[in-house]
Amino acid sequence: MNIFEILKELKNIKPDQEYAKQSRYLILSQTPVNKKITVAEIFDWISIHRLATAASLIGVFILLVVLSVSYLPGNKNSLVAEADEINASIKIKLNDMGYQLQNPAEININEIPNIQKNLEEVTKLMKEAQILSENNKDKNMGEYLEKIKAAQALLTEIESLLVK
């Protein structure tokens, strides 16, 4: 007797099709039971949605900054080109984060306080950068670049903290 051959043959065991059909129908007619929500989970939920709001807010700032940068005179200036590049990278990071925020199950809940703190800092930096670009654009370009570079670095840090 070849025991392995026989064991392999047991893969042909199949449930009765009529039973399978009926069982499937009965199971799917039930509603999944939601797990009991704890206070901690409610706070987690709020934190996640705050993150989403913060990210959207930053998105608006980015859009404004990007728009203002594209209207700067002398776009051939290397500093402006660098600013464009950083802004594009920030936009990509924000898009990725927006996508990750749609799947809260994949988010590292434990890091939410740090993520939120960093996001607030990014928002602040981008707001300052926007003000700089609106006022004396040419003169403030160096400082503007520093702000957006700092924001970019913080977003990189947030990305690594965000996902489990």
Q: Please report, as ranges, the residues that interact with other proteins according to CB under 8 A.
A: 1, 3-16, 19-20, 23-24, 26-28, 30-35, 103, 105
Cβ atoms 116, 46 nearer than 8 A: no
Taking the least distance from each CB to other proteins, the nearer of 72 and 109 is 109
Taking the least distance from each CB to other proteins, the nearer of 12 and 160 is 12
* Distance of closest approach, residue 32 Cβ to other proteins, in angstroms: 5
Q: How far is CA 33 from CA 22, 36, 67, 160, 161, in A?
A: 21, 9, 48, 33, 31
3-state secondary structure of 2: coil
* Distance of closest approach, residue 140 Cβ to other proteins, in angstroms: 46
* Distance of closest approach, residue 36 Cβ to other proteins, in angstroms: 10
Taking the least distance from each CB to other proteins, the nearer of 32 and 74 is 32
* Distance of closest approach, residue 58 Cβ to other proteins, in angstroms: 26
- Give the separation between CA 159 and CA 151, rounded to whole angstroms: 12
Q: What angle do CA 103, 107, 92 make, to 5 degrees?
A: 75
Cβ atoms 94, 122 nearer than 8 A: no
Taking the least distance from each CB to other proteins, the nearer of 25 and 71 is 25
